[in-house]
Amino acid sequence: MIVPIGPIHPALKEPIRLKLQTEGEKVVKAEIEYGYVHRGIEKIIEGQTWQRGIYLSERVCGICSYEHTQTFAETIEQICGVIAPPRAQFLRVITNELDRIQSHFLGNSTFFKSMDHETLFMHVLELREYAMDAIELLTGNRVNMGWNVVGGVRMDADERHFKPILENLKKIEDGFEITREMFAEGPALALRCKDVGIMTKKEAIKGRAVGPIGRGSGIKYDYREDHYTYEDYFDFKTIWRKEGDNYARTLNRFDEIPESISLIRQAIDNIPKGDIRVPVELKSGYAMRKNEAPRGEVTYMIETNGNLIKHISIRTPSIPNMDSCAKYMIPNVASVSDAVSTYASSDPCVACAERVSITDENGDVELKNIDEVM
């Protein structure tokens, strides 16, 4: 029989429809229907100036909004042939990693909520608040930060900002180990997580899974290895696991948090003096830029025409991760409840997956994924 879940359902944090085909209790096939929060934001950005474009790019995704502005800015900088000053790049690292911490905590809390583990759900959200407070201390905002500009960052930071940020990171560390242990060693959680929603490394590669989802299935790659180029300052280790189940994906997000805290401390300790932005004059051209968002690689492809954005395509990590979830993770789970928790383990972001609007021959707008368009 077909079991529909959504688009409005208490277990889903965003509107989407899961169609589960079952044989008895066992789920044998899954399908994800998009289109319930589509906004055509790429089409809206086209024809805008870069100032307006970077403002709109921050609204692609509310959970990892920062990474979209950084990638947008770096793509335009590449077209213009400029590089943000070293101090600005270090400030971007700090903000990027703070955003990763809060996103990983939110993703794991949603997973625990899907399994009705209210204790861990609340513990993780409490730790997330320290990261959100640190983001507000640095940028003045908690979600849409308005921090990046083309050529650098909007504001500088000093010891008045860094000291309370480090204090908040210490608070996260103080409560992190016991929270992680509750999940990693909890026998009831292990029964619901281990060997559930398995995606092999071969399947992850075939499905193009990225970020903690791909790394949870044995893909030993993190785009920050290439992007954080200041090797004399940053000591970074890629976190990965080989089990490929709900347990591995959740624990991978947990274990990336200490690495993010370490990167922030290294950036604060070694941040160079100097300017925080350089002047930029927009040129006509095309560029593609990637970054490691909390859920994996986000790619911006921008073509400019003078001072305007002629065309923009955004490939977010949620598209391959959610498609991989439906194709490889959910089939063969033992029950519908396991299918819901497996979907949550993929840390989906529906809003950033629904962006591309293409008109057909009749002029009607139809929704397409970036993979179909490209």
**Cα-trace Rg, the chain:** 20
Give the mean model confidence (pLDDT) for residues 108-120: 91
Q: pTM for this one?
A: 0.92
Whether the predicted pLDDT of 372 surpasses 70: no
pLDDT in tens, 204-256: 999 999 999 999 999 999 988 877 666 678 888 899 999 999 999 999 999 99
Residue 154, both tokens? 């909007």
Fold of 52-317: Cytochrome-c3 Hydrogenase; chain B (1.10.645)
Domain range summary for the chain, segments of one domain joined by +: 52-317
296: alpha, beta or left? (left if phi > 0; alpha if psi -120 to 50): left
**Which ranges in the chain belong to alpha helices (H)?**
41-45, 50-57, 65-80, 86-114, 118-139, 159-184, 187-193, 201-206, 211-215, 224-227, 246-270, 318-324, 336-345, 350-353, 370-373
What's the rounded Cα separation, in Å, for the pair 35 and 20? Answer: 18
The β-bridge partners of 304 are 285, 309
What's the rounded Cα separation, in Å, for the pair 239 and 212? Answer: 8
What's the rounded Cα separation, in Å, for the pair 360 and 372? Answer: 14
Give the mean model confidence (pLDDT) for residues 176-180: 94
pLDDT in tens, 133-164: 999 999 999 889 999 999 999 999 999 999 99
pLDDT in tens, 2-61: 888 888 887 787 888 989 999 988 999 999 888 888 888 899 999 999 999 999 999 898
Q: For the purposes of burial, counting CB atoms within 10 Å of the CB of 306, is it exposed (0-12), middle (13-18) or buried (19 or more)? A: exposed
pLDDT in tens, 282-334: 889 999 999 999 999 999 999 999 889 999 999 999 989 999 999 999 998 88
Contact between residue 34 and residue 348 where contact means Cβ atoms under 8 Å apart: no
Residue 158, both tokens? 């000093």
**Residue 3, SS3?**
strand
pLDDT at 229: 66
pLDDT at 187: 84
